Structure 1
Amino acid sequence: MKQNNNKNTRHRNVWSGFLFGIGLIAFVDEAVFHQLLRWHHFYDKSTTDIGLISDGLFHAFSWFATIAGLFLFADLRRKNSLLLRRWIGGVLLGIGMFQLYDGIIQHKWMRIHQIRYVENVVIYDIVWNMSALIILFIGLYLIYRVKNDNPVKRDSPK
C-alpha cells in the first residue's frame, strides 16, 4: 500500500491526538479533582447543585472530545496513515493546552473555580501551569521533530 505522509495526513494525526488529549485530561481533571478529591466543581460561583450540573456537562464535553479523537484515530489506522509519534505529540499538545487554558483563563481570569480553596493557592497555580507548559512543549517537540515519521502498518486480516 502507498504511504500517505502528506501535509493533510500529518495535520489529521495532530488533530486526532489533540482532541483525544483534551478529552483525556478533562476526564482526569473531572474524575480526580472534582469527584475524588472534591477540590472544586467546574462552576463554583453558585450552589453545589449547579456545580454538580456543570461537572456533568464538563464530563459530557470530555467524552465528546475523546470519541471524536478516537474516530479520527480509527480512520487514520484504516487508511494506514497513523503517525504514532506525531499523534502522541498531539495528545500531549491537547493535554498541555487544556491544562494551561484551565489554569490561566478559568482559574485566574474568569475565576469560575480555583484549583483548591486554600490560603496559599499560588503554589497549586505554579505547579498546575508549569506542568502544563512542560507537557505542551514536549508535545510541540514531538510534532515538529517527527515530520517524516513513517505510518504504523495495521495488521492485515488473516
Structure 2
Amino acid sequence: MTTQTDQLKNHTYDTDFSVYQARNLWSGFLFGLGWVAFIDETVFHQLLHWHHFYDQSTKSIGLVSDGLFHAFSWFATVGGLFLFADLRRRSALRLKRWQGGMLLGAGSFQLYDGIIQHKIMRIHQIRYVDNVIFYDLVWNIIALLMIAAGLLLVIHTGKEAKQRGHNG
C-alpha cells in the first residue's frame, strides 16, 4: 500500500525526470545550433568569403549582418552551456541525450539555412558559382544526416530510460 507521501515522491521524481530529459535535449539543441552557426560564420563568411548573412545590399550591411549572426550564435552556444553546467551540477546530465540534441540543433539550423535562407528567402547562397546545386546538395544532405543521427540518439535514450525505470 502506498502512502500519500510515497505518491508525492514518485510524482516529484517523474516530474524531475521529464524536466531533466527535456533540459538535456534543449541544452544540446541550443549548443548544436550555436556551434554550427559559429562554424558557418567563421568558415564560410570570414575565412572563405563565400557569402555574408545578408547579401542583398551593400558590403557594409553584409558585414553588420554577419556581426549580428555571430552574436546570435554565441548567445545560443552560451545558453546551451549554462544549461549543460546546471545539468552537471544536479547530476542530471545524460550525455548521449545531450549529444542527440546537439546533432538535432546543428542539423536543424543547417537545413533551415539551406532551404529557407538560401532558396526561399534568397538572402544569400552558400557560394556564388554556376553549379551551386552541388553545394546545396552537400549542405542539405549533411544537415539531414545530423538530424537523423540526433533523432536516433534521442529516441534510443528515451527508450533506454523507460526500460531502466527512469534511472537513466
Q: For 1:21 and 1:135, how far apart are their aligned partners in 2? A: 10
Task: Tell me the residue number matched to 1:78.
Answer: 89
Instruction: Tell me by how many angstroms 1:143 deviates.
Output: 0.5
Match of 1:43 among 38, 54, 60: 54
Which residue number in structure 1 is paired with residue 156 of structure 2? 145
Structure showing greater relative contact order (alpha-carbon pairs closer than 8 Å, 6 or more residues apart)? 1
Which amino acid is 1:82 matched to?
L
Larger Rg: 2
Aligned to 1:154: none
How many residue pairs match? The answer is 149
Q: Find the counterpart in structure 1 of residue 67 from structure 2.
A: 56
Q: Give, in angstroms, the shift of residue 144 of structure 1.
A: 0.6
Residue 44 of structure 2 aligns with which residue? 33
- Structure 2 unaligned spans of 5+: 1-12, 162-166
Shift of 1:146: 1.3
1:14 aligns with 2:25: yes
1:65 paired to 2:76: yes
**1 CA distance for matches of 2:155 and 2:31?**
19
Alpha-carbon distance, 1:6 to partner: 1.4
SS state at 1:143 partner: helix
| Offset of residue 8 of structure 1 | 1.3
Letter of the structure 1 residue corresponding to residue 80 of structure 2: G
Residue from 124, 142, 146 that aligns with 1:135: 146
C-alpha RMSD over aligned residues: 1.4
Structure 1: unaligned runs, 5 residues or longer: 152-158
4+ residue runs over 6 A deviation: none
Q: CA deviation at 1:7?
A: 1.3
2:151 partner amino acid: L
More helix by share: 2
Q: Which amino acid aligns with 2:147?
A: L
Q: Percent identity?
A: 65
